[in-house]
Amino acid sequence: MSQLPLVHELNSPLDPFEAFLKIQSLGGVLFLDSALKHSKLGRYSFITADPFDEYSLSIDNESELDGANSQVQDPFAELEEALARWKQEAVTDLPPFQGGLAGLFSYDLGRALERLPPKRKTPFPTPDYSVGAYDWVLAYDHALGKAWIISQGFPEIDLQGRAQRAQERIDQVLDLLRAPTPPLSLSHPAPEFSHSQWPFETFEIQGPKGLLSNFTRQNYQEVLKRAIDYIFEGEIFQVNLAQHLFYPQKNSNVSLYKKLRERNPAPFAAFYEPKDSHFVLASASPERFIELSPAGKVETRPIKGTRPRSRRPEEDCYSRDALRESEKDRSENVMIVDLLRNDLSRVCKPFSVKVPQLFEVETYASVHHLVSVIHGELEEGRTALDLLRCTFPGGSITGAPKIRAMEIIHELEPSPRGAYCGSLGYLSFSGAMDTSILIRTITASQGWLQFPVGGGIVAGSSPPGEYEETLDKARGILWALE
């Protein structure tokens, strides 16, 4: 009997985006795209589609949930059961995602883990999670210049049935890859309804004609002042706040993502379109949330601190150096490092949580970021979902203390975050996991594009400067809309 999973190496791998175009016809497509190549962060890309099972959770919009006593006793229970049912040892020397559960964990999933106010109403609801069970994956290792189809044969159980299904899947994917590349559809239908029907106010702001925000410049700065008051009152040390931008969709989802990955390449770029769903995600995220290796090694890479890029080399170097030396940004960064160290310590071995990198500047297409790295080792008997239970949503996009910061976010942001500041990624059948923080991310739904942009607020924050920083962060997305 053939050893499972079956692995087929491609002799001359297609460019990942071209392969994605050929495979998306299967439906339920997920493209985890290292559009910005990097020896570590951007080493792998993964394409998969047509999940054999799907899992979705949408918590009652009016419910107030208490993690221990809510109507959702454990939001991850069915996912934990599925991973246990399909558990499969990893094939060594191959990329770490070899089939598994993959998809979206929305920011609002936090309401099933902690006691928080109910979600606000929105014309663009997204599930609290939307996850597919994928039995095959096309995996790229950019460092080696190689690609493989890894096929598990699930949901078949017996070895003969699994082997047959695994081979059928490989043949199916090979047929698609050999077929002509389908034409890239460009146009998109007009929005389904006017923003005047939405349950929150919107305002036209500077940018492409038709660009809307749920804040005016003045209102946003007033909200930031209120957040700073909370800090001086001793309620919090820091909070992450965002304005939510909206734009009528004019291009198809795939052509929009093509522009986004070209104009704002990122190591955690992604495209996700669940089957029979009313939303699509196109992400150019630079930020890893949680990575877990099959051996139990844990990494998180919080971003705190941003400066805009300049086309003039001297100014760009000055901007980078100013970020590195900024006391305000370093203070903000270390607060979140401490928060994440605490979160990881709940599920990692004692004394294993370390900070090998503090305050390193990373450069992307439109901004410089201040990034730190925290490592740990998962306790025996713990799983990837235990990690998510203790860390979700990521501290870099909430604030500290986390729960009070999330309550203030709910109070001060007039519309729900949905996918924004949640996570997208995979939980491999082998126990490995890698997830992004969904910043620099577009949610396409009902003819509209949503892309919130925000930043961390501390006692020394300047409201006018923080407003401008949100526009700096939006720049890469706005380029893709032109």
Q: Which residues are catalytic?
A: 287, 304
Residues 6+ apart with CB under 8 A from 401: 236, 237, 339
Structure tokens at 106: 């929305």
Collapse the DSSP code of 226 into the 3-class scheme (helix H, G, I; strand E, B; otherwise coil) and give the result. Answer: helix
Q: What is the DSSP letter of 298?
A: E
Strands annotated E in 262-403? 268-273, 280-285, 288-292, 297-300, 303-308, 354-363, 367-377, 399-400
H/E stretch holding 30: strand 29-33
Closest CA to 96 of 397, 359, 339, 297: 297
Q: What is the DSSP letter of 308?
A: E
Cβ count within 10 A of residue 70 = 19
Give the whole-angstrom CA distance, residue 167 versus residue 161.
10
Q: What is the DSSP letter of 26?
A: G
Q: What is the DSSP secondary-structure string of 81-141?
A: HHHHHT--PPPTTS-S--SEEEEEE-GGGGGGTS-BPPPPP-SS---SEEEEEESEEEEEE
Collapse the DSSP code of 11 into the 3-class scheme (helix H, G, I; strand E, B; otherwise coil) and give the result. Answer: coil
Backbone region of residue 296 per phi and psi (left: phi > 0; alpha: psi in -120 to 50; beta: other values)? left
Collapse the DSSP code of 79 into the 3-class scheme (helix H, G, I; strand E, B; otherwise coil) and give the result. Answer: helix
**Residues pairing with 46 in the sheet:** 32, 139
Give the whole-angstrom CA distance, residue 114 versus residue 417.
16
The radius of gyration of the chain's CA atoms, rounded to the nearest angstrom, is 22
Give the whole-angstrom CA distance, residue 452 versus residue 441.
8
